[in-house]
Structure formats: structure tokens, C-alpha cells
Amino acid sequence: RNSTFVVQIALTHPYGMLKESKFPLVGNDRFEGYGIDLIHELSEMTGFNYTFRVQEDKSSGNPTTFPNGTKIWNGMIGEVLAGRADLAIADITITREREHDVDFTMPFMNLGISILYRQPRAAPPSLFSFLSPFSYEVWGYMLSAYLGVSFLLYLMARISPQEWTNPYPCIEEPVELENQFSLSNSLWFTIGSLMQQGSEIAPVAGSTRMVAAIWWFFTLIMVSSYTANLAAFLTVEQKVSVFDDVKELANQDVIKYGAKTGGSTANFFRDSHDP
């Protein structure tokens, strides 16, 4: 009671922070946070006075062992062992090595080693995202089928006499007959069927009708499959697992990672015997 202790603190949110104020503050009034409040309540209960001392490098403390066996601590633990501070309060992890040289109170929070990372974000849709429902091979096969059916329809219409019609019905014996399935019209008819759109061009001969019917059935299946897959791509969010454990994180070079310099986590991995 009535003793004054030098309390070593580190400015780490939310345990110790500088208080924001319109007016200049001095002494202990400059600080706030969980650790600050805890020291204040303890002083009210036991009647001691205290003065805060800031650890500039925010280091909790790590030992350096020399060849002669001498061990020197830095950080907040080093300040306490050197007598420049009577006690320290911050987010200091209790480790076996630290507990060997200093005493700890009952911890106010127990935490294990965990990895904090941002969840993967969905990439913005690309200009050619409409091609996603089918693979590039399927699109290539469809293009080949489109060109092949168009040329086949053009060829069958040229061979079939029924596709040659009189463009002028008023003239009973025209000089020339016309065929509506020119190469350009054949391409237009085939792509129109694929897009589920009709046209004024219609096959007349049995052979061209059979080719058109087979193509219509093919386009019905492909359009239905494309629509179903496109709806799945737009509504289902695929979860991407970045990594499952520390080994996978260490064996990749895409994600940058790290630990607090001089902290217990960095020391744990430094001294770990697990490769």
C-alpha cells in the first residue's frame, strides 16, 4: 500500500492506446485500454500508485544466449528483469521459456496459434464468361457442326429438284429457276435455328427437311444444356480452399504471410523441429 510501481506497457490495441483529447494530457491520463483499466482497478483495490512506461518497440521479450551461457532478455521482459520496470501488462504470450525467468499472473485470455487470412473474393466476370458453361472443345465441335450442316444443307438443296422454284409465278416457263438455299442463306438458316429464331427460308424437299429436323433436335439439346449450366454458374458460388494447413501455406509462394517479429508465434516456428 502507498507504493509506486513502474508499469511497462506497449501501445497495442486494445490493451494500451494513446487517449484522444482536445486538450494536452500528461502522465497516466495519456493512456487508455483494457490493460490500463485493469491496472487502475488493481490500484483502487490494493492502494498502490503506478506510473506507465511505454515500450517503444512493442516487443514482449526474447532471450539472447551467449556462448558463455549468459542469457539476456530484450523487450518488456528485459525491462522487468533489469529493474527498470516493476511489472508489465500487455498482450504477452506465456511460454515455457518466459515462465522460467519471470512470473505471470493468471491469464485474462487464452489463445492458440491460428492463421488470420482474408476470404477469397469472387473474380469479376470476364468478357467471355458466357463461354463458361461449355468447354472449349465443345464450342469447337459446335462450330464444326454448324459449318458442316450449313454446307450439307446447301449441297442437298442444290441436288434436290424440289428446291429449285420459279421466282415469278406469273410466268409459266421461266428462263431460270432459283434456289433459296444459297451458301449465305444456308448459313443464316442454320445459325437462326441455333439461336431459336425462325426465318422466311423453309426447306421443301424431303432430304433438306430431314437435315433441318436433325439440326433442330441437336440445337434443342445444346440450348437446353447451355441454359441449365449457365444458371448453375450464375447461382452457385464455388468455395475455393486456399490452403488446409501450415505445410501447404509454407509450400506456396502466392500468398504472403508472416508473424509478429520477436513474438511467441515467430519463435515457435523458428524453434520447431517439424520440417
For the chain, how many structural domains are there in total? 2
Q: Are residues 70 and 148 in the same domain?
A: no
H or E stretch covering 130: none
Q: Virtual CA dihedral for 6, 11, 17, 22, nearest 10 degrees?
A: 90
Q: Are residues 136 and 85 in the same domain?
A: no
The grid cell for 208 is 433438306
- Domain CATH number, residue 165: 1.10.287.70
- Domain CATH number, residue 79: 3.40.190.10
Q: How far apart are CA 140 and CA 120, in angstroms?
A: 32
Of the two residues 188 and 237, the one the predictor is more confident about is 188
Residues in binding site for L-glutamate: 93, 98, 264-265
The arithmetic mean of pLDDT across residues 131-153, rounded, is: 92
- Out of 38-42, 71-75, 170-174, 210-214, pick the least confident: 170-174
Listed residue (251, 235, 190, 234) closest to 215, CA to CA: 190
Domain boundary among 64, 83, 101: 101
pLDDT digits (tens, 9 = 90+) for 201-224: 888 888 889 999 999 999 999 999
State how far the alpha carbon of 38 is from the alpha carbons of 88, 90, 108, in Å. 12, 11, 10
The grid cell for 253 is 509462394
Domain membership of residue 139 as a residue range: 130-235
Q: Are residues 151 and 218 in the same domain?
A: yes
Residue 75 belongs to a domain = yes
Residues in binding site: 93, 98, 264-265
For residue 171, name the pLDDT band (cuts at 50, 70, 90). Answer: low
Q: Are residues 18 and 88 in the same domain?
A: yes
Residue 171 belongs to a domain = yes
The grid cell for 99 is 515462465
Residue 239 pLDDT: 52
Q: How far apart are CA 98 and CA 268, in angstroms?
A: 13
Count the helix, strand and coil residues of the chain and give each as a percent rounded to the nearest 5: 40, 10, 50
pLDDT digits (tens, 9 = 90+) for 93-124: 888 888 888 989 888 777 777 777 777 676 67
